[in-house]
């Protein structure tokens, strides 16, 4: 960005809160940087908003709504985009409906087989020799965007940017990286009793399970806690499953 100068000795302000500081900083940035450079707008991206360390995580969405609404009213074209769990707004809908309506919501679903092929073509930058690879990727990931991106990145690293002739031969190395960078982090804050339940579910014959089949060995509350942590998915009333088949494979290998 050009067309502006920086003051090394800027005027000092005594502002009362983080919200006030943010509003002042963005206002100053708009006037001193964006307008002189003729930049029409800016967008902020925040990942995993539900993990922000606040007493009530949904307070962050309300605060952001207030900030960016005020900026828009004052002709500063800032936008904010954040990711969170699909039920993020459920706890605030009853008493903060305007905050919910402020955001346009998009739900990220697993990719279809055709979309997986499109992603593989973009990742490997080619249309050739991808039919078998894209089918293999879909079978491994079931279209899960994170796992699809992770596995493609690792395959590219293994082959130095080319399409692998036999991805299955590289799978042990890729899965080792997935274990280190994803699954062990998933379990980092899981107590022993919850870990025991996860391993029991991984060993079950069916993907979907009912908690009553595991009572009284495991309390119903454990299923709720693991769902909140994103390690279980509630598929219906009284039905749960591990969040992905690759996670199940990891649990089975580490028993």
238-248 residue pLDDT tens:
889 999 999 99
What is the model's pLDDT at position 199? 92
Residue indicated by tokens 């399970």:
209
Is 70 in the same domain as 117? no
pLDDT at 161 over 90: no
Is 91 in the same domain as 126? no
Whole-model pTM: value is 0.74
What is the model's pLDDT at position 13? 53
Is 89 in the same domain as 117? no
Q: Rounded mean pLDDT of 21-45?
A: 92
Structural domain of residue 161, as residue ranges?
113-186
Alpha carbon of residue 159 to chain centroid: 27
> Of 102, 132, 153, which closes a domain?
102
Q: For the chain, where are the alpha helices, taking DSSP H only?
A: 18-29, 58-73, 97-102, 113-124, 131-141, 145-159, 167-178, 184-186, 192-202, 220-228, 245-253
**β partners of residue 242:** 232
Q: What is the CATH number of the domain that holds 217?
A: 1.10.10
Is 143 in the same domain as 83? no
Q: What does the block give as tokens for 200?
A: 């029991």
> Of 163, 186, 209, which closes a domain?
186
User: For the chain, what percent of residues have pLDDT higher than 70?
Assistant: 87
Is 138 in the same domain as 86? no
Q: How far apart are CA 253 and CA 216, in angstroms?
A: 26
Residue 43 lies in a domain: yes
Residue 96 lies in a domain: yes
**DSSP assigned state of 183:** I
Residue 12 lies in a domain: no
> Of 132, 158, 186, which closes a domain?
186
Residues with Cβ within 8 Å of residue 180, at least 6 apart in sequence: none
Q: Containing H/E element for 93?
A: none
Classify strands 42-46 and 78-82 as parallel, antiparallel or unpaired.
parallel
Residue 13 lies in a domain: no
Is 182 in the same domain as 199? no
What's the total number of domains in the chain?
Answer: 3
Q: For residues 108, 112, 117 and 122, what is the CA-based torsion angle, rounded to 10 degrees? A: -10
């Amino acid at each position: 960005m050009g067309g502006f100068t920086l003051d090394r000795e800027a005027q000092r302000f005594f502002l009362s809160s983080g919200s006030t500081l943010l509003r002042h900083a963005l206002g100053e940035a708009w006037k001193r940087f964006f307008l002189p450079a003729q930049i029409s707008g800016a967008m902020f991206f925040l990942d995993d908003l539900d993990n922000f360390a606040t007493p009530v995580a949904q307070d962050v969405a309300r605060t952001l709504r207030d900030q960016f609404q005020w900026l828009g009213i004052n002709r500063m074209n800032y936008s904010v985009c954040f990711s969170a769990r699909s039920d993020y707004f459920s706890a605030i809908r009853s008493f903060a409906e305007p905050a919910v309506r402020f955001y346009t919501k998009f739900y990220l679903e697993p990719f279809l087989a055709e979309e997986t092929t499109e992603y593989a073509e973009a990742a490997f930058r080619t249309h050739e020799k991808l039919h078998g690879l894209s089918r293999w990727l879909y079978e491994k990931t079931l279209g899960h965007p994170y796992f699809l991106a992770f596995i493609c990145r690792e395959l590219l690293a293994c082959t130095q940017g080319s399409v692998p002739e036999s991805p299955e031969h590289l799978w042990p190395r890729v899965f080792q990286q997935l274990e280190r960078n994803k699954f062990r982090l998933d379990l980092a804050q899981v107590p022993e009793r919850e870990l025991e339940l996860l391993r029991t579910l991984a060993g079950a014959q069916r993907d979907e399970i009912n908690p009553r089949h595991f009572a009284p060995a495991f309390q119903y509350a454990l299923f709720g806690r693991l769902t909140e942590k994103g390690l279980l998915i509630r598929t219906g009333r009284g039905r749960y499953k591990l969040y992905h088949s690759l996670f199940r494979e990891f649990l089975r290998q580490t028993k």
